[in-house]
Amino acid sequence: MKPTSAPKPGDARYRRYTAIVLLASLLLKIVLVLAHGQAYNYHSDDQGYLESARIWLETGLFTYNDPTRPTLFITPALPGFLALLMKLLGPGVMLEQTVRVLQAVMVTAALGVLYAIGRRLFGERIAYWAVLLCAWYPPLWLVSNFIFTEALFTLALLLLVYAALRAQETPTLRWALLFGLIWAAATYIRPTIALWPGVFFALLLIWRRVPWSRLVRSGLVAAVVFVLCFAPWWVRNYHVSGGHFVPLTQAGGNPLLLGTYPYTVPALFLEEQRTWHTSSDLRVNDAQDTERAKERIRSGFRDSFWTYASWYTVGKFALFWGDVFYWMPIPGIPLAVAVLYHYALLIPGFIGAWRLRRDRGALLLLSLMGYMSLLHMIYLAHSRYSVPLIPLVALFAAAQFEQWRRKRGDDGAKASTSPALSNPSPGS
* Average pLDDT of the residues in 204-218: 89
With a CB cutoff of 8 Å and minimum separation 6, the contacts of 195 are 371
Q: Quick one: which of 319, 302, 307, 294 has its CA closest to 384?
A: 319
Q: What is the pLDDT of residues 348-406, one digit of tens each?
A: 999 999 999 999 999 999 999 999 999 999 998 989 999 999 999 999 999 999 999 99
| Predicted confidence (pLDDT) at residue 274 exceeds the cutoff of 70 | no
Confidence (pLDDT) at 151: 97
- pLDDT at residue 419 greater than cutoff 90: no
Instruction: Kindly report the number of other CB atoms within 10 A of residue 143's CB atom.
Output: 27
Whether the per-residue pLDDT at 270 is higher than 70: the answer is: no
Closest among 325, 304, 324 to 262, alpha carbons compared: 304
Residues 6+ apart with CB under 8 A from 286: 73, 250, 251, 252, 253, 254
